[in-house]
Structure 1
Amino acid sequence: MLLEEAPATLIHATIDNFNINQDRVAVARIGESLSTLQQARDLHLRDEETSLKKLNRQLNTFTSQYEDLSTAHSSADHASKISRLDTKKRRDAVDDEVLLRLKVYRSLGIDIERDERDGEWSKAVVRNDRKGDVHVVNMDKKFSRYFYANYFWSTL
């Protein structure tokens, strides 16, 4: 055999010469450092996730507010609404003028009816309560407004 001593004795002497306690302590220290680093990373990750969730909620809130405002203040809708209101205002002004005239005529005892075909004033019913008279007048284009006004005043 090549070795002068028994292999068991050599192995035992080699084990005694190795000092692994320092290596064990170093590996334990490295493990603790890795654990501490992992905990710090996990804490930082949780903080960033919380911040991201908060920012997502703000984004959703602002997005919904923007959509509400953009639908409420659409320029095309706004312009069409203004146009519609102007048209209604003009129509009401014309209607008010006609209604005012009709009220005046009715207060005098004159009821005027429109022709269904062309919308012109075609017939007038003149009532005189003092005399008890009722006159039905068919209004033709061949007579002037002045003629009809004089006729109505004379029957009242």
Structure 2
Amino acid sequence: MLLDEPPATLIAQCTANFKSGPDHACLMRIGESLDTLKQFREQSMSEMQETLARLERTKKTLASQINHTLSQHNPTTHAQEILRLDTEKFKIAKQASDLEVEGERLQNEVQRLGGVLQELEEEGVEGGDREKGADEDATVLKLKVYRTLGIDVEADPTTGQYNKAVIRNAAKGDVHVVNIDPKFSRQFYTNYFWRTM
């Protein structure tokens, strides 16, 4: 009879015939995989929350800096400063242009006076077709040229050598007294005189 055997034995035999061992092992592996995925997901969520919190703090800091910058900005003062700088820029540009024109004028004047000096030196003591006094020589002519340029040359009473020059600049209202030292070249003093004039 069927009921002659204990029900537990029958159930165990029935269960053994189904061979559920591989299925049980598969369910265990699936459970372990689910646990691993859950841990990975929780870790990823934690890292993302930390990143989000850090970005939120950065956003608040930047917003605070922007608000501070905007509160410090005064459009009226900024416009006035730009206008002042533009005015100063145009003034400097005009001064530079004026100085350039004045430099060209002075250069032309120097060239003209250099030509006059060269002509006078070429004429020498005789002075070309001009009538000369007996005592007028090349030194006198040079002194006259210097005087027309605003330079007075004084001679040393003991040696008779010209060792002092007084340079007058009417445009600047300056007067320069230069002691001429023989150890410096004529070119040095010529350049110095032109710069002073």
Calculate the TM-score normalised by the size of structure 2.
0.35
Calculate the TM-score normalised by the size of structure 1.
0.43
Structure with larger RCO (C-alpha < 8 A, sep 6+)? 1
